[in-house]
Structure 1
Amino acid sequence: MSKKITFLPMKEVVLAPPEDATLGELAARLGLPLDQSCGGVGRCGKCRVIVRKARSMPNEIERKMLTPEELMAGYRLACQCPLEDGLVVLLPCAEKGEMQILDGEAELFIIKGRDPLVRKRATRLTMPEVDDDITSLGEIVLEDLGLKNTISLNLLKEMGSLFLNHELATMVFTETDLIAIERGDTSHSLYGVAIDIGTTSLVVWLVDLNTGIVIDRCLEVNPQISFGADVLSRISYLQKHPKGLETLRNAILVSLNEMIANIASCNNLPEEEIYAAVIVGNTCMEHIALGIDPLTIGRSPFIPVSRFFPMLDASSLGLAVNPEGRVLVMPCISGYVGGDIAAGVMASGMFKDGKITLLIDIGTNGEIVLGNKEFLIACSAAAGPAFEGGQISCGMCAKEGAIEKVRFEDGNIELEVIGKCDPLGICGSGLIDLIAEMLRHGLIDESGKLNESGSKDLGYRIFRDESGILGFRFCNLSPIEGTGLAITQRDVRQVQLAKAAIATGIEVLLEKTCISMEDIDRVIVAGAFGNYLNSENAMTIGILPKVPLEKIHYIGNSAIRGAYCALMSQDALQEVNAIVDRTKVVELSTLKDFTNIFLKNLVFKID
């Protein structure tokens, strides 16, 4: 009977024929890059792979060739590991240190000294002897796990029979609580999810808590976008509708639960084996997800109901993982600088050293943090969703069919499309390229106005629609005149508003700290499309400050990275709490000269 085996990171699923007895034999037949220089007899130890969902235990040869740490992390020798249906195998070609790239967005991490939010330990529950100094069975379990809290009534009800039958059982526990008991040794099967609730998009990472491997990831549009493109519009919706909070919260949970179900199913993983979740988002998104009314965030002095949240049972939140699983919601810095930014600061490491770092998270809210180990100061700039494809006439999120790169060359417009298919729209990185190229070629002037006579080669692409609004057709989908993708004057204005908000935030933080741009040691760019951003084009339109290119570093979605770190490390969670406590926040809207600075930054500074 054939067995289904999944190989990562290529996510290739194969059916192993009956004649292949081991992973090594199957890999050799498929021509996979696996070193079996000893001929597959277990002498060289070079065919190390990480195996998930294995029912077999390492044999004597594997226990001899692999260290205890490697065995604990799920390493096996492919030449010795028997084939079983449902195995998931990470090949060593993906291993490149502590962080490995699976694709443009999902990073695969191996954290040293990991201490995940939830852990498992298998033990045989044996009744104590008469002369043992033990007063209850529950105390035996708590002492073995190093816990001090009491055990829930449901677990106490099943514990007696496990001891009487001397059963092998697996304890599922946090740093403080025993949360579940599973029959048999299930310690190899422990998973969590890192969740980023963005204003525009939702991201879920599926993580193996035993190894730290990011198994898979899922990206979807935030369904709340139907109720408003930004935080303030959603707060307004809540004010106008008596059941608005319930509606917005349900929209998020339904979508997240579908994502979790899909990502688990794609990896042949029961949702009940997911015991931990860490959620990050801006302050408003976190409040809504928890069912907390965020109205106080939308009114001066813009204070949230809480910055810190208790650890939750998954069942109480309604998250579709194991009902006894634990859910941690990242603490927030302020009403408009949320848990996503605290997580990003932690993930970037900027709070640990003496280098002065400017962190710019380019999203709907455009948060900015300046500092180092000595100080941290932050602000939130209402950039809007333009750089995530929102409120742009042909905008879309970065998925298949989105134009991600644009270049003008000798009167032609060259486009790169995600998935190498026909373009459906343009995402943030492509939009920035397009505006920068239009500025260079005189198609947009400093005020942001489309200029019909600005370019001899490309000026013919500027047109007026039925309402008299100017537009620039940058992509023809057919020879028929008037078809294709175009950017309008209104779209350019949305980009101006977004870039002015970010530039103003940067200028204010520098002024508040008496730091010049020359004093900045590095600029870290966070955001879903950061890795695809052209630095020169971003500086041309004014999103990024004009600094030497070598000072600019991209870390992608820093919020989900921070959520991952908190999922895998108790130390990381403590670091986030410290960051929240020590970060000073500047509220831009209360500054007397804010309007003047903002209006100045609306202008494109064409070199």
Structure 2
Amino acid sequence: MVLMENSVHTILFLPDNIKAESEAGELVIHAAAAAGVNISRHCGGAGTCGKCRVSAIDGERFLSPLTLTEKKLLKKEEIDFAVRLACCAKISGSGTLRVIDPVDDPGSRILEGTSGRPVADWSPDRKGLGVAVDLGTTTVVCYLLDLDRHKVIGTHSFLNPQVSYGDDVISRIAASTLQPGTLARMQEMLVEEMNRAFSALTEEAGTVPGALSEVVVAGNTVMEHIFLGISPESIGHSPYSPQFRTHPPVAASELGLIIAPDGAVKLIPNVAGYVGGDIVAGIAAHAVDKEKPLRFFVDIGTNNELVIGSEERMYCCATAAGPAFEGARISQGMRACNGAVEKVAMTEEGVSYEVIGGSVPKGLCGSGLIDVVAMLLREG
């Protein structure tokens, strides 16, 4: 049978049994993302990490020929067993693929409560319950707040579902602008997870999402744009200017968030394309801008911001840190979840290590990598 170049094909992704409709010539990674199949994309689909592997069931005749990149990054035994890279293989027919490198966050560890300084006073302009959202590139943390008592009464975190479009903001910008319909899908999938988080938080507190009167979101500039469904394309090229720095409150219903009917969503202002509301929130919470002593504030995340200054003046810069800590260019690198080696030390008995979840080691997360480098330097 001759395959029509413009025909539509069906790909079944295992183990989730999700079917995706795809046109001939579409990359597997794009078809998977459109169908909600989360395949790791540590390098953003640049073909450098080799960590978006899938295996073709019953042969790979429905995929394009092996590329030079795949021959370089895949082991011989993987190639023999029809393993392909989702960022390289193109679809030419219908078939079944098993995802080897899924995006998931079992046992993800959130570091919190490390500051001994009290957070600056806050005065909400609404009463009842609200949610503060730390919208990270990789991890999203939602805090349920009693606005009357100024108290955190619940916390819920989840992996940002947009990681299926790339681990860093540059990859997200590219995905949201180059693939039609992707920006809307990225916004929708984030809102869906936020609604689940709100439901879980309110259920634990003995109430319902409809009791939430306000949501405040702090994220880097790209994340805030995508959350509102606004293209971040202008941030991806010189002069790296965002579509907005300060955005007026938005009705939650316009974004698809399920809270009180008159509930509002507010975003912490951004400063520039790569200096967002997350670092602004940190500065405000710790009153960096209101004290005379020179202070150094660091927000280490997938996107890393550093601020030095006082009440007189502040300087800030940003860089991508997540890919270094999450294994984008490290053959055995991975996120801080079950199976990740998080601590490494040299003892009298030799090298010792600790694994998140106490399971069999699968790779090294950021803290483990730092420990290894430090140990090697000490040992010469």
CA distance in 2, matches of 1:318, 1:395: 36
CA distance in 1, matches of 2:363, 2:218: 28
Task: Note the C-alpha offset of 1:194.
Answer: 0.9
Q: How does 1:165-314 map to 2 (within 5 A)?
A: 190-314=128-252
Local SS of the residue matching 1:439 = helix
Task: Note the C-alpha offset of 1:114.
Answer: 5.1
Aligned-partner residue type, residue 348 of structure 1? H
What's the counterpart of residue 126 of structure 2? 118
Cα offsets for 1:344-377 (capped at 9, x unmatched): 1112222121211222222222211111111111
Specify every segment of 5 or more residues in structure 2 that has no aligned partner in the other structure, as ranges: 1-109
Q: 1:353 aligns with which of 291, 295, 302?
A: 291
Q: How does 1:49-448 map to 2 (within 5 A)?
A: 104-105=111-112, 115-119=123-127, 190-388=128-326, 392-442=330-380
CA distance in 1, matches of 2:361, 2:318: 33
Local SS of the residue matching 1:238 = helix
CA distance in 1, matches of 2:358, 2:133: 29
Local SS of the residue matching 2:187 = helix
Cα offsets for 1:307-344 (capped at 9, x unmatched): 00111221112112223212111100101111111111
Task: Note the C-alpha offset of 1:245.
Answer: 1.0
Local SS of the residue matching 1:381 = strand
Question: CA separation of 1:209/1:344 partners in 2, compared to 1, >3 Å: closer, same or farther?
Answer: same
Task: Note the C-alpha offset of 1:285.
Answer: 0.5
CA distance in 2, matches of 1:278, 1:214: 14
Local SS of the residue matching 1:247 = helix
Local SS of the residue matching 2:176 = helix
Aligned-partner residue type, residue 118 of structure 1? R
Question: CA separation of 1:418/1:268 partners in 2, compared to 1, >3 Å: closer, same or farther?
Answer: farther
Q: TM (normalized to structure 2)?
A: 0.65
Aligned-partner residue type, residue 124 of structure 2? P
**Contact map agreement 1:118 1:326 (CA 8 A) in 2:** no
Task: Note the C-alpha offset of 1:399.
Answer: 4.4
Local SS of the residue matching 2:271 = coil
**Contact map agreement 1:280 1:339 (CA 8 A) in 2:** yes
Cα offsets for 1:65-86 (capped at 9, x unmatched): xxxxxxxxxxxxxxxxxxxxxx
Task: Note the C-alpha offset of 1:387.
Answer: 2.2
CA distance in 1, matches of 2:326, 2:158: 12
Aligned-partner residue type, residue 362 of structure 1? I
Question: CA separation of 1:420/1:382 partners in 2, compared to 1, >3 Å: closer, same or farther?
Answer: closer
Question: CA separation of 1:325/1:392 partners in 2, compared to 1, >3 Å: closer, same or farther?
Answer: farther
Give the number of aligned pairs.
Answer: 270
Local SS of the residue matching 1:117 = coil
Aligned-partner residue type, residue 234 of structure 1? R
CA distance in 2, matches of 1:386, 1:348: 27
Task: Note the C-alpha offset of 1:296.
Answer: 0.7
CA distance in 1, matches of 2:352, 2:369: 13
Aligned-partner residue type, residue 262 of structure 1? A
CA distance in 1, matches of 2:176, 2:111: 36
What's the counterpart of residue 40 of structure 2? none
Aligned-partner residue type, residue 150 of structure 2? G
Task: Note the C-alpha offset of 1:424.
Answer: 4.8
Local SS of the residue matching 1:194 = strand
CA distance in 2, matches of 1:117, 1:393: 49
Question: CA separation of 1:113/1:326 partners in 2, compared to 1, >3 Å: closer, same or farther?
Answer: same
Cα offsets for 1:101-143 (capped at 9, x unmatched): xx95268999797532312xxxxxxxxxxxxxxxxxxxxxxxx
**Contact map agreement 1:402 1:425 (CA 8 A) in 2:** yes
Specify every segment of 5 or more residues in structure 1 that has no aligned partner in the other structure, as ranges: 1-102, 120-189, 443-607
Cα offsets for 1:554-584 (capped at 9, x unmatched): xxxxxxxxxxxxxxxxxxxxxxxxxxxxxxx
Local SS of the residue matching 1:351 = helix
**Contact map agreement 1:196 1:202 (CA 8 A) in 2:** yes
The percent identity for this pair of structures is: 41
Cα offsets for 1:129-186 (capped at 9, x unmatched): xxxxxxxxxxxxxxxxxxxxxxxxxxxxxxxxxxxxxxxxxxxxxxxxxxxxxxxxxx
CA distance in 2, matches of 1:234, 1:196: 18
**Contact map agreement 1:110 1:211 (CA 8 A) in 2:** no
CA distance in 1, matches of 2:369, 2:298: 18
Cα offsets for 1:233-281 (capped at 9, x unmatched): 1111123212121121112111222222222223332111111111011
**Contact map agreement 2:120 2:287 (CA 8 A) in 1:** no
Aligned-partner residue type, residue 285 of structure 2? A
Aligned-partner residue type, residue 112 of structure 2? E
Q: Which moved more, 1:415-424 or 1:235-244?
A: 415-424
**Contact map agreement 2:145 2:152 (CA 8 A) in 1:** yes
Question: CA separation of 1:239/1:113 partners in 2, compared to 1, >3 Å: closer, same or farther?
Answer: closer
Max Rg structure? 1
Cα offsets for 1:438-462 (capped at 9, x unmatched): 22224xxxxxxxxxxxxxxxxxxxx
The structure with more helix, counted as a fraction of residues:
1
Aligned-partner residue type, residue 117 of structure 1? D
Aligned-partner residue type, residue 310 of structure 2? N
Task: Note the C-alpha offset of 1:418.
Answer: 3.9
